[in-house]
Chain A
Amino acid sequence: MTATMREFRDRATIAIEDVRLQTALEAATGRFCTARAAALAKLPWVEAMRDQFKAMRAATLANLAQHLEQFERQATAVGAQVHWARGGAEACAIVTGIAQRRGVTLVTKSKSMATEEIHLNTALAQAGIQPVETDLGEWIIQLAGEAPSHIIAPAIHKTKEQVAALFAQELGQTELPADIPALTAVARQMLRAKFLAAGMGISGGNLAVAETGSVVLVTNEGNGRMVTSAPPVHVAVIGIEKIAPTWDDAALWLSLLARSATGQPMSIYTTVVTGPKRAGDPDGPEEVHVVLLDNGRSQLIGSKYEEILQCIRCGACLNICPVYREAGGHAYGSPYSGPIGAVLSPLLFGLEKYPALPHASSLCGACKEVCPARIDLPRMLLELRADLVAQGLASPVEQFLEQGAALTMRSSRVWQFVTAMGRWGQRPLLQNGRLTLPASLNPVGERQLPHLAAKSFRELWRQGEV
């Protein structure tokens, strides 16, 4: 996947012209924003808590190797197996290897951005293993063969009619009523059978706690509990940056995560997995594996972009982002969309593949304001834009125009000359003093373009008209 300027604009235009999608996006993101604000307002010390959280995340990243080793020691001590993966292919090989060793043909998955990032489902399918997404939203987009369009609400772009059609097809029926409780019941029934039949459960991890070697999973549906309880093997794939050194740190993390994401004080299920089932446990997986995924993250430690690794994937920056709210998630061409995706995708997957994303922002700063870790996303977008220019990834036309304009503006005399030429040059284009872009050239309607005034301010000043 990539996001060139053309691709981003084309995909965004499709979203902008889709009235149903626009209505759904606006309503969903608006609801998340309102719920988040209300939930945070109930904590009298929330701003101090965010400062504390940021300080904790920064301190953890500065000493990440030590915390990862501690996690590994503790997890191993309780019988979990810890694996390290430099990149996506390596991580996929580890997971499919475990499945093949156990003779697994069906795996159930709970929602995980890390496995989206490494395209684990494709790798599993290629190895003859059927992966079934069990988060309702993820399952919907898996059936549709699409990518998630929101970090926490992956099927935000689908209507109930579209979902009914997908489910009917999966069931081999001609039609299902577009009734949300009924569709939920269908999913419950169909996926219940998968949970009980699966030979392996795969999850991501919202965080890992070094102190006890635990992986923490947050879900509302209960699929996180299912994949970690029903199958004989559980594999968690988690980015190396998602470490909380202690349970005090984890408590702080959990206090902000659900509130920032959905406005819930706590998600319905917060599951803590600490190794496989113990002697005397009536059920639970015999094997627990944790795959620590690097995939470009360690390169960011110590760089000007290290702060981005403080992200906990709550999605608050997507919901507030005016660009995301119009363009939708698919425009970004990455599992990570919105402001976090605009920074993370070029950093993890290559700036040359995602040259449009640093520009997919009006730099309004709303993302930074709602981020639980106060990550300075606008600052990083600016840095990425400078990197685009420095690495010669900006288009030659843009470079010529920018450099030319700057040269012009370094002298007010040249500037006056050029603008005077512009005044003369724009005359044939103006009609009744307006420069109009017709609706046929603009998806959202006619627009008046900026043009030069008949007299500049400096002329008026010199002529004593001010």
Chain B
Amino acid sequence: MTARTEILQRLRAQRREVNVPHPWQSRQRFDDLGQQFAAALTAVYGKVYLAASLEEASGQLGQLLAELGARRVVANDELLLSALDPAARWPDLVWHIVGQTPGDLRAFAAAADVGLSSAAAAIAETGSLLIASGPGRSRLVTLLPPVHVVLLPARLLITDLFTFIAARGGEMPANMTFVSGPSKTADIEQTMSIGVHGPKQLSVILYQE
């Protein structure tokens, strides 16, 4: 008998009819999703910049890249970012745009100063960004560089995890990560230390359209 058959047989023998509880219905309510998102993310050492327009957001991005002293930037190829055309806007920096720039993405990302992306959604309650894999969207871009910068239009804000689940489409991407702050650990003497494996800094530019 295979392991599969044996395990399933044993479980089936104990099967019982039960009432399955209805999905959880209570929801948090926040008057200002942007404010809640910023407060939650800031509380876990994320940085949030607010902008009134995409233009203002791109100005803040330029300033941020300058402050960081970034030289090499790796960016996901997302609609939002291509509209910004960062490589043309900041020609002094070395850019690798996923799927467009030739060369080894993995090696570039491993040595990049900043990873730039957008997000599929953002959860206000917990200050979480939803980063999904897909065409033009590399996992390593948002993971390997020491700084992860996210351009986030305010329309992508949703209330909480339950709201996200209820609104989600049928298919799941191969990899989807809720990112709620920069990488951290408290494994040595329970003392918080930022940036162990993932980015040490997470900066979100939240803008109105």
Q: Is the CB of A282 within 8 A of B16?
A: no
A159 to B164, CA, bound (A): 41
Identify B188's interface contact among A163, A212, A214, CB under 8 A: A163
Residue A2 CB within 8 A of the other chain: no
Do A68 and B11 touch across chains, with their CB atoms under 8 A apart? yes
- Whether B175 contacts A184 by the Cβ 8 Å rule is no
**Which A residues are CB-close (under 8 A) to B11?**
64-65, 68, 240, 298, 301
For residue B50, CB closer than 8 A to chain A, the reply is: no
Among residues of A, the one whose C-beta sits closest to the C-beta of B76 is A282
Contact mask B137-148 → A, CB, 8 Å, 1/0? 111100100000
CB under 8 Å from chain A, chain B span 136-180 = 136-140, 143, 161-162, 164-166, 168, 172-180
Expressed in whole angstroms, the minimum distance between the Cβ of B135 and any Cβ of chain A is: 4
B44: CB under 8 A from chain A?
yes
**From A302, which residue of chain B is reached at the shortest CB distance?**
B14
Q: Which of B106, B188, B189, B199 interacts with A283 by CB under 8 Å? A: B106
Is the CB–CB distance between B197 and A195 below 8 Å?
yes
Within 8 A of B (CB), among A256-285: 264-278, 280-284
Contact B175 A272 (CB under 8 A): yes
| Contact of B81 with A by CB under 8 A | no
Residue contact A223 to B197, C-beta cutoff 8 Å: yes
Q: Is B34 an interface residue (CB 8 A)?
A: no
How extensive is the interface on chain B, given as a class? 35 or more
Given contacts A59-B21, A229-B143, contact A284 B174 (CB under 8 A): yes
> Are A86 and B3 touching (Cβ within 8 A)?
yes
Interface residue from A63, A135, A154, A278 paired with B15 (Cβ < 8 Å): A63
User: Which residue from B140, B177, B190 sits with its C-beta under 8 Å from A269?
Assistant: B177
B21 touches A52 (CB 8 A): yes
Check A123 for interface membership: any CB of B closer than 8 A.
Answer: no
Known: A78-B174, A254-B161, A298-B7. A283 touches B105 (CB 8 A): yes
The residue that B3 contacts in the complex, of A27, A90, A163, A223, with Cβ under 8 A, is A90
- Asked whether A180 lies within 8 Å of B139 as measured between CB atoms, the reply is no
B98 an interface residue at 8 Å Cβ cutoff?
A: yes
A31 contacts partner chain B, Cβ-Cβ < 8 Å: yes
Shortest CB-to-CB span from B103 to chain A, Å, is 12
Across the interface, do B175 and A84 meet the contact criterion of CB distance under 8 Å?
A: no
- Tell me, in angstroms, the Cα distance from A229 to B193 when the chains sit together: 23
Nearest CB in chain B: distance from A452 CB, A: 46
Which residues of chain B come closer than 8 Å to A134, judged between CB atoms? Answer: 197
A292 to B5, CA, bound (A): 13
Residues of A within 8 A of B (CB): 24, 27-28, 31, 45, 48-49, 52, 55-56, 58-59, 62-66, 68-69, 78, 84-86, 90, 134-137, 140, 153-156, 158-160, 163, 180-181, 183-184, 187-188, 191-192, 195-196, 212, 214, 220-223, 225-226, 228-230, 240, 245-252, 254-255, 264-278, 280-284, 292, 294, 298-299, 301-302
Sort A-B residue pairs by CB-CB distance and give the 5 closest, nearest first. A222-B198, A302-B14, A137-B187, A280-B135, A248-B23
